[in-house]
Amino acid sequence: MFLFHLNQICSYIIEGRVCYLTMCDRSYPKKLAFQYLEDLKNEFERVNGSQIETAARPYAFIKFDTYIQKTKKLYLDTRTQRNIAKLNDELYEVHQIMTRNVQEVLGVGEKLDQVSEMSSRLTSDTRIYADKAKDLNRQAFIRKYAPVAIVIGVVIILFWAKNKIW
């Protein structure tokens, strides 16, 4: 059973069959807490990695406590140059990721502009096509029915002329 004080948070990393856990004040930077756990994890795997699967008793790695205590002292004061540098490194990585994301969004925006331009061209080409289709339909109609209309017109004129003359 875990009991937490309201002003504390619990951070943990589970890697393989090992859980790395720390509790700290809410005001302590989460990134620094996870960096502490990462340091512990890396050192533990380096020193004891081959022995993890064969551990038979609960305190098989009690010697590792000296490293834990030494590292804990390094991370206690969040204002030390080392911890500030770690936070700045994390911040720089986040900044790089955000910059890449913004560049990708801008790239997508440029592609959207190209698609919009292509759409506008397609719309105007569609109007031109529709106008040309109407002209072609009109020309086909004229070619199909003009000879018949001419013949009917000539016949009507002949009947009219015949009626006028007689």
Which pLDDT band, with edges at 50, 70 and 90, does 4 fall under? Answer: low
pLDDT digits (tens, 9 = 90+) for 52-98: 888 888 788 888 888 999 888 888 876 777 667 777 777 788 888 88
pLDDT digits (tens, 9 = 90+) for 103-157: 887 777 777 788 888 888 888 889 999 999 999 999 999 999 999 999 999 999 9
**Sign of the CA dihedral running 50, 52, 55, 58:** positive
Between CA 155 and CA 159 the distance in angstroms is 6
* Three-state DSSP state, 114: helix
Kindly report the pTM of this predicted structure: 0.48
Between CA 111 and CA 105 the distance in angstroms is 10
Contact call for residues 78 and 28 (beta carbons, < 8 A): yes
Based on its alpha-carbon atoms, the radius of gyration of the chain, rounded to whole angstroms, reads: 42
Between CA 157 and CA 148 the distance in angstroms is 14
pLDDT the model gives residue 35? 87
Q: Output the CA angle 146-151-154, nearest 5 degrees.
A: 120
